[in-house]
Structure 1
Amino acid sequence: MSDLSFHAALSRRDALRGGAVLGAGALVAASPFAALAQSEAANWPAVQRFVRSFVDQRKVAGMVAALGWGQAAPDFIAGGARTFGGADAVGADTLWRIYSMTKPITGMATMMCIDDGLLALDQPLYEILPAYRTMRVQKSYDGPITADNLEPAARPITIRHLLTHTSGLGYPIVQQGAIRQAFGQRGLVPLAVSRMALAREFFGGEARGTLESFADGLAEMPLVYQPGTRWSYSMGLDLLGRVIEMVSGQAFDAFLQTRLFDPLGMRSTTFQVPREDAGRLAANYFVMADLPLPVDLPNSSVFLDRPAFPFGGAGLVSSARDYDRFLQMLAGFGEIDGRRVMSEAAVRLGTSNLMPDTLASNGGFASGGRSFGFGAGGLSGTGEAQGLYGWFGAAGTAGLVNLDQGLRQTLMTQYMPADSYDAQQRFPLIVAEDAAARRGA
């Protein structure tokens, strides 16, 4: 793939956040459609058609939806294979790169620390990481990193800011110019996409060092906005991984394992795919001129390597079954299978609108012409979307729960950029169509 064609295929600003921003050869061989349990297909006919259409039109190699109500077992609707032309049908336990769907998990881990009394929502970050006491802010967004374009931060960054992308911290896949170049030079790039050098360059470079050195290095970079003034997609959730380490005394990935993954039975959710599980991992594709081109194949995936550090913003691999377990716990307000994993208060607070009251009049989170609130690492619905919480991934995935209705919905597939197709925008609407039909039956 040439440099020109690769850059034409993707939008750097949207590739990682993807439908996070709702609305976020073997190639010609036929791919199988997974057998569906009749009861599951009957429960969600519109979702079944949705999945089948993407597979039959060869937009994706495979797709899995997990759907459920309250604490009831999920239904799985699956179609296609792990790779184009492959024989391995996808299913509930296929592994997918969930990218920014990692953020709500890190967000809820942060809420657990708040609930434990280890943190406070409006606590200044510098009380935990002193390097963040005196921050500088760019006067001109994405302008030069020079003294004449920097001013002091008007207020300290808080935990609330980090959770809601209102800290002013930048992001390599969003920023342009000097600051993006500086992120790459310093290895402040908290994600992995491919072994391809061109792909790494496109996403800003390659992560280096440890979570500690990442946090220290990020403190030396200027902010792109004044803290607390506007929603701007950021590395805040990655930085919270270091905060969790500091206040809990555990490595960030160990905290997730012991406090969330083990209690929830999320046995397939990890920052590194074990070599023996490569046969469960789906391939990832970049879409160029309507043609999906492989960028990370299962047996040579960059996710088989141990990452530089656990990326709390975009680092996890998971399955439809596992992510539904996370959503089921939230739907149970902290309980699952009769066991309490989080307090009800922590879930209710984390899924509510946590935006600071210092936002600029035009500084909120909006998508598709609608305004939303923002909670702990995920959107918080308002108005007719009241009760909705969740987020999306750069490779076409989605994970949402409506706490008012108890409706859980997970979409797993693998293509980039996420806005190549309208899967993420349409999926919640298709689920709502089936849900309304069931309620009216």
Structure 2
Amino acid sequence: MQYLDDLLHDSVQRRQVPYIVASVGRSAGTVWTGQAGNAAGDIEASDQTLFRIFSMTKAIAATGAAILAERKQLDWNWPVAAVLPQSNSLEVLDGMRGNVAFFRRPRSGTTLLQLATHQSGLAYEYYDPVLAHYFDRSGKPTIISGLKKGLLYPFRFDPGTRWRYGTGIDWLGLVIETIDGRPIDRFCREEIFEPLQMTHTVFEPGRADVVGDIFLRRPDGGLTAAPVDVAAPRPPEFYAMGHALYSTPADYMRFLRMWLNHGELDGRRLISTDTATSFLADQLGELTLPELSSCVPRSSHDFVFFPRARKGHSLGFARMQEGVAGMRSEGSQFWGGLLNTHFWFDTRRDIAVVVMTQLLPFLDPPFMAAMAGLEKSIYHNFA
């Protein structure tokens, strides 16, 4: 697929990305993988390069919860507090005046479904100035610290009243551990990674793993190596299922192809077809994914995906409620990770795509322009 290879090399030459790996799959197998640039020193990027996938971890956690739900060990409508009583301590942060935070009790409890679909009331400080101010003034650790105390974000609204991207999946990981009894890393390995042969998806990189270098976009538009690793310290006090995983493009494509096959891959069924169908259905009803303004621009640009198309959320992914001409179809599922690892899968067209680099800020405009051009080319040639 020389035209796709050329797009990747062009994006590196134009400094839209420091390096890039992209892959296209169908339910029957991977049909193209391309790469450009060096991922770690003078080592070329490849589909075996290990990437910090950050929020692409969330779909893994939701899949784990679906496995337990199919076994009747979990009900999506359960209150979180019925499984994790410590969640009862969370209050709603109503606002701040100087250094003083004002709290109140939430008017309703949070369900497991609301954790999975970002309707729980929990938000990230990257897109909430009041929450960012609260953490700045309080000195409390955030979720990226790897500390258990970093889970204790206050609610920003009453559960079930709006959509806001946040830390709910980290609580869902604790729910899975509590119900199943295995540590979350062992659960994921035995229930998801081994059945799907995701042999390089890990919570802790090994010494022999080639982990991609992180780059920053400079104000002048250039790229520079990041001075520190932005991932949580290793080992953390707990594995936060909102962001803890490392994976390769080849591994994550196997995960997406399982969804294209409605719960099965290469003869191994993870969940039933009925469970997969209900999992991928929209869960927001009248709510939609809003645009969110970034208040930490060094970490993320404004949270905007396909602004003119209505978007919902399934149990594991953002969901296109409308298609985009020449690009992904209605019903397509997608998400990304902080360092600009992205994916989507389109069951109508039988297409899954993984695009990975390691670049801050999230939703970097030059990178997003390169990805949009790649998506249009993929649909022009594969759909």
* Alignment partner of 2:6 out of 49, 61, 72: 49
Q: Distance in 1 between matches of 2:24 and 2:119?
A: 31
Q: TM-score, normalised by structure 2?
A: 0.86
Contact 1:62 1:81 in 2 (8 A): yes
Distance in 1 between the 2:103 and 2:263 partners?
Answer: 43
1:37-77 CA-partner distances (Å, limit 9, x unpaired): xxxx24xx2x3333112211234331110101222234111
Closer, same or farther in 2 for the Cα pair 1:426/1:301, shift >3 Å? closer
Q: Distance in 2 between matches of 1:238 and 1:183?
A: 21
Match 2:27 to one of 47, 61, 70 = 70
> Are 2:56 and 1:124 aligned?
no
Partner of 1:285: 215
Say if 1:349 and 1:152 are closer, same or farther in 2 by CA, change over 3 A.
Answer: same
Q: Is the 1:392–1:424 contact (alpha carbons within 8 Å) kept by the matching residues of 2? A: no
Residue number among 103, 106, 131 corresponding to 2:58 in the alignment: 103
Match among 156, 160, 170 for residue 123 of structure 2: 170
- Name the CA distance, whole Å, in 1 between partners of 2:137 and 2:179: 29
Q: Pick from 189, 203, 208 the counterpart of residue 271 of structure 1.
A: 203
In structure 2, the partner of 1:80 is: 37
CA-atom RMSD, angstroms? 2.6
Asked whether the equivalents of residues 322 and 331 of structure 2 are also in contact (C-alpha less than 8 Å), the reply is no
Structure 1 equivalent of residue 332 of structure 2: 388
| Partner secondary structure for residue 73 of structure 1 | strand
Q: Deviations over 1:354-404 (max 9, x none)?
A: 1266x5xxx644542332011223201213232211201111111111122
In structure 2, the CA distance between the partners of 1:356 and 1:114, relative to structure 1 (3 Å rule), is farther
Q: In the alignment, which residue of structure 2 is the partner of 1:411?
A: 355
Give the C-alpha shift of residue 101 in structure 1: 1.1
In 2, Cα distance between the equivalents of 1:350 and 1:143?
A: 42
Match of 1:235 among 167, 171, 176: 167
Cα offset, 1:143, TM superposition: 6.1
Work out whether 1:378 is the aligned partner of 2:317.
yes
Residue 299 of structure 2: aligned partner: none
Match of 1:341 among 270, 286, 297: 270
| Secondary structure of 1:107's aligned partner | helix
- 1:288-327 to 2 correspondence within 5 Å? 288-289=218-219, 290-295=221-226, 305-327=234-256
Q: Which amino acid aligns with 1:273?
A: P
Distance 1:338 1:183, change over 3 A: farther
Partners of 1:117 and 1:181 in 2: how far apart?
A: 42
Q: After superposition, what is the alpha-carbon deviation per residue over 1:223-281, rounded to whole angstroms, capped at 9, x for unaligned?
A: 1111111111110111111011011111111111111111111111112111222xx11
Distance 1:227 1:301 in 2: 30
Whether the 8 Å CA contact 1:163–1:377 is kept in 2: the answer is yes
Q: Quickly say closer, same or farther: Cα 1:114–1:276, change in 2 above 3 A.
A: same
Q: Indicate if the aligned counterparts of 1:272 and 1:307 stay in contact, CA closer than 8 A.
A: no
Counterpart residue number, 1:423: 367
Which amino acid in the other structure matches residue 78 of structure 1?
Q
Q: Give the CA deviation at 1:349.
A: 2.1
Return the offset for 1:331: 0.6
Question: Percent identity of the aligned residues?
Answer: 24
* 5+ residue gaps, structure 2: 292-304, 324-328
Letter paired with 1:128: V
Q: Following the alignment from structure 1 to structure 2, what is the Cα–Cα distance between the partners of residues 62 and 438?
A: 24
Tell me how far apart the structure 1 counterparts of residues 89 and 240 of structure 2 sit (CA, whole Å). Answer: 25
Match of 2:326 in 1: none
Paired residue type of 1:171: Y
In structure 1, how many angstroms separate the alpha carbons of the residues matched to 2:73 and 2:42?
49
CA contact (8 A) 1:365 1:371 kept: no
The one-letter amino acid paired with 1:315 is: A
Find the aligned partners of 1:93 and 1:434 in 2 and give their Cα distance. 22
Rounded to whole Å, the distance in 1 between the matches of 2:369 and 2:331 is 18
Q: Structure 1 pair 76/160, CA: closer, same or farther in 2 (3 Å)?
A: same
Q: What is the CA-CA distance between 1:123 and the residue it aligns to?
A: 1.3
Q: State the alpha-carbon separation in 1 of the partners of residues 358 and 171 from structure 2.
A: 26
> CA 1:281/1:130 → structure 2, altered by over 3 Å: closer, same or farther?
same
SS in 2 for 1:162: helix
- 1:15-40 Cα distance to aligned partner (Å, 9 max, x none): xxxxxxxxxxxxxxxxxxxxxxxxxx
Distance 1:261 1:376, change over 3 A: same
Residue 225 of structure 2: SS of its match in structure 1? strand
Q: What number of residue pairs does the alignment pair up?
A: 361
Q: Note if 1:179 corresponds to 2:109.
A: no
Deviation digits for residues 80-115 of structure 1, max 9, x if unmatched? 1114xx431111101111111111111211211211
Structure-1 separation of matches of 2:21 and 2:74: 37
Cα gap change, 1:369/1:88 in structure 2, threshold over 3 Å: closer, same or farther?
same
Distance change in 2, residues 1:143/1:340 (3 Å):
farther
Aligned amino acid, residue 92 of structure 1:
D
- 1:207 is the counterpart of 2:152: no
Q: TM-score, normalised by structure 1?
A: 0.75
Do the aligned partners of 1:169 and 1:223 also contact (CA within 8 Å) in 2? yes
Residue pair 1:273, 1:303 contacting (<8 A) in 2 also: no
